[in-house]
Structure 1
Amino acid sequence: MPNDTTLSPLCLLSDLPTRGSKGVQHDGHNLIVVRQGAQVHVYENRCPHRGIPLEWVPDQFLDNSGRLIQCASHGALFLPESGECIAGPCVGQSLRAFACEVREGGIYLTPTD
């Protein structure tokens, strides 16, 4: 994907609370955008344990603390900084990460060549 500012952002930074998440679709992928303060991360919306979407309710990917990504099916917990599973049946596995950047208020995937 070229680094072109005319490409649409996945979402706007203002769409997410300081500790928030949002499901988006991009180029045939179901993705999760997670914000933890100034940090933003993007992962595939797919549990490494069962291969199913992580949420039951749209845009609710975080646990009650707003600090960890949680699989609604079996409660696995993932670090938003790395996507690594730290509790549940897939401990040690990770969510598939997509590089991203925030610019001009939008969250964009970083091109990979």
Structure 2
Amino acid sequence: MGHGLTLTDQLVEQLGDAAPQVPGTRWEVGRLVLAEAHRTDVDALRRCLFLSLDYASRQTEVHHLFASCSHVLSRLYRRFAFSPFAANVPLHGTAKSYTLIHGRAHDVLQALGRGRAASTTLQ
């Protein structure tokens, strides 16, 4: 993050001084595309996020995670130790608005690892 290349970067920049100031490396959790048959399976989402974050954490430093999502999805991500820090942030030039969420990578990884599907990878 911080290079202005992603949607979350653009939306956080709009917040100005209201944006969270966090030390350490910051990464955006981008798009995760699941086959339609698996989109309602929270364990599939949990497992994919766990495997991705576990891999990233082994390859580089990951301290903080950010994402932009709908208000409904922000409630889902609370299960995984993310917290909303801005709601109804408009995407200029469109009728869309987003909720911005943040999580400490360590906390997110622990929350994801507590899930039944993800925990099988820890054994």
Q: Scaled by the length of structure 1, what TM-score is found?
A: 0.30
Larger Rg: 2
Higher strand share: 1
